[in-house]
A and B are shown apart, each in its own frame.
Chain A
Amino acid sequence: MTTTEPVQDWATDYDIFDPGYVRNPYPVAEQLRGTCPIAHTERWGGSWMPTRYDDVVAIAHEYETFTSQQILVTPLPPQMQEGAYGGVAAPPITSDPPDHHWQRRLILPTFSPQSVAKYEPGTRELCHRLIDGFIATGRADAATDYAQQIPVRVIAAMLGVPLEMSDEFTSWVRGVLEVGLTDPVVRMESRNKIIGFFASEIADRQAHPRENDLITELLGAQFEGQPVPVTYVMGVCNLMLVAGIDTTWSSIGSALWHLAQHPDHRAQLSANTDLWPTAIEELLRAYSPVTMARIVAHDTEFQGCPMHTGDRVLMSFPLANRDPSVFENPDEVILDREHNRHVAFGAGIHRCAGSNLARLELRIALRTWMERIPEFELEEPSSVTWAGGQVRGPRVCTVRFPKG
């Protein structure tokens, strides 16, 4: 399942894995918005791709037509859909109403701003420890030495699973969300590793319930007077690992990549720390990492496009967030942008449940970096590499700075 023919016409044959597009998708989107705002391709299983904010948000809201039966940007080949863990989904992200409602409501309190605040001191300590590891050398890969190391440990702590397995967790998640998008064998293997791991964690909690433990609490949760199914708990654990790591790491990495190239923005943030909350929202807007998919439930015409049952529609929040009809000077990062209704965390009923945690991690990771390393620059801009597709962010981003 590889297509490497160069794209001739982006409106009818786009390729979200085209290396140039992965590096910088925004010029293509700008051109499409003016000519063919909902593009189509037969590549990678076929899909539609709206590029305007209003269309992306409308699709997110019309959940009866655009369902979450599949949410990855490429399909698995039909013979691979049912593996050992075929019945385990990733609720609530893979659910539609009515089940979506209780499946989401059950986990929301875990992620409220009040609840996630307790992860702040541990996250800060972790960031300092990571910086201690490289500050004396005057150089670091902001993507892999720093950004990548943070969210995986926060989620592992939240789930009560071994922090020493962080590198394995990261590689499983990349197996699903990066490599696995174009390599179904890797995707299934990674998925099976994740579910197999949580099956044994869950068995352990059933035999030995723990105090103050999320998995134990989920196992004891009830819906309409009945204990929730174990497959639900397994699905939620699966989702927390997959949704919380690549995404947040990509955001932290993109923000550092931006700051490395913008001494003016570093100076503004150092001089006025009150700018941070809006600055973080603006960096989330400008470098939104996540694209999701929907499956069309019944034949429909959307903005003049004939969509058929089973068609895949991409919701590219990165492109929506650069729409000039909603954001003035969308390609410019304006740290105190006045009205920033970005949809980096999606829109409608599936709005990222982890958004308050993600914001906290971004704030701590970026502020701690800037306190310790206020001056830094890209070592070699052309050596920066990007991942794209489902989650966009830098994967190698070497920076240098005065030795500390």
Chain B
Amino acid sequence: MRIRIDADRCQGHQMCAVVAPELFGSDDFGNATILIEGAVPPELEAKARRGAGTCPEQAVIIED
């Protein structure tokens, strides 16, 4: 599984980071950043999905 942020959609709600702080962070403007390199470690996949399901702008993209 890979994750990325659709920067055109992200409005910086930071709700992804609330539920999955291991995966999502914030740039200087509060928009989401991805904190890992490469694939999501298997033990964090559920959290990645939770991050995606929590984003009100549907800006967290999951690529299985």
Q: A281-B18, A351-B12 are in contact. Are A341 and B30 (CB under 8 A)?
A: no
Q: Residues of A within 8 Å of B, CB-based: how many?
A: 25
State the CA gap A23–B30 with chains docked (Å): 34
Residues on the B chain within 8 Å of A109, using CB: 28-29
Q: Residues of B within 8 Å of A, CB-based: how many?
A: 20
A277 and B19 form a contact (CB under 8 A): yes
State the CA gap A82–B48 with chains docked (Å): 50
Dominant secondary structure of chain A at its interface with chain B: helix
Q: Which of B12, B50, B54, B57 has the most CB of A within 10 A?
A: B12
Q: Could you say which of B26, B56, B57, B58 contacts A113, with CB atoms under 8 Å apart? A: B26
Q: Could you say which of B17, B26, B28, B56 contacts A347, with CB atoms under 8 Å apart? A: B56
State the CA gap A278–B58 with chains docked (Å): 18
B53 and A341 form a contact (CB under 8 A): yes
B54 and A341 form a contact (CB under 8 A): yes
B18 and A277 form a contact (CB under 8 A): yes
A341 and B15 form a contact (CB under 8 A): yes
B56 and A108 form a contact (CB under 8 A): no
A217 to chain B, nearest CB (A): 15
Chain A residue, CB-CB nearest to B52 = A339
B57 and A347 form a contact (CB under 8 A): yes
* B14-49 interface with A by 8 A CB criterion: 14-15, 17-19, 26-30
A281 and B15 form a contact (CB under 8 A): yes
A338 interface residue, CB < 8 Å from B? yes
Chain B residue, CB-CB nearest to A342 = B56
Q: A113-B26, A351-B11 are in contact. Are A341 and B56 (CB under 8 A)?
A: yes
A69 interface residue, CB < 8 Å from B? no
B64 to chain A, nearest CB (A): 18
Q: A109-B28, A113-B30 are in contact. Are A355 and B54 (CB under 8 A)?
A: no
Binding site for A on B (CB under 8 A): 11-15, 17-19, 26-30, 50, 53-58
